[in-house]
Amino acid sequence: MTGKKIGPLATVLIAVLFSGILSQPTAASVADVEIGHLLGYLERSGCVLYRNGRWYSASDARAHLEKKYRYLLDKD
């Protein structure tokens, strides 16, 4: 007894379904995108950060927060 063969259209549909499943973003990558967006917004905001008796520009504030974020990622 031979198995049923699937047609070319079914093969394409299966490939599309699996590629969609495999390409779903992970929770970590979604969080990275959101955090990157927030850091970018902060940098473009023109806000200043007062920390430890000194004022820092928005780009310095972003760099500081990004450094802290990367530190936490490295610690897992």
> What confidence tens digit (pLDDT) does each residue in 28-49 have?
788 889 999 999 999 999 889 8
Res 26: pLDDT:
72
Identify whether 55 is part of a domain: yes
Task: Point out the residues of the chain with pLDDT beneath 50.
Answer: none
Using the structure block, give the residue that is written with the tokens 């495999």.
22
Res 41: pLDDT:
93
Using the structure block, give the residue that is written with the tokens 């972003």.
62
Identify whether 44 is part of a domain: yes
Identify whether 59 is part of a domain: yes
Strand partners, 49: 56
**Cβ-contact 59, 43 below 8 angstroms:** yes
Identify whether 34 is part of a domain: yes
Using the structure block, give the residue that is written with the tokens 């007062």.
50
Structural domain total, the chain: 1
**Cβ-contact 49, 64 below 8 angstroms:** yes
Classify residue 58 as exposed, middle or buried by CB count within 10 Å of its CB (0-12, 13-18, 19+).
Answer: middle
Identify whether 32 is part of a domain: yes
Domain carrying residue 33: 26-75
Identify whether 21 is part of a domain: no
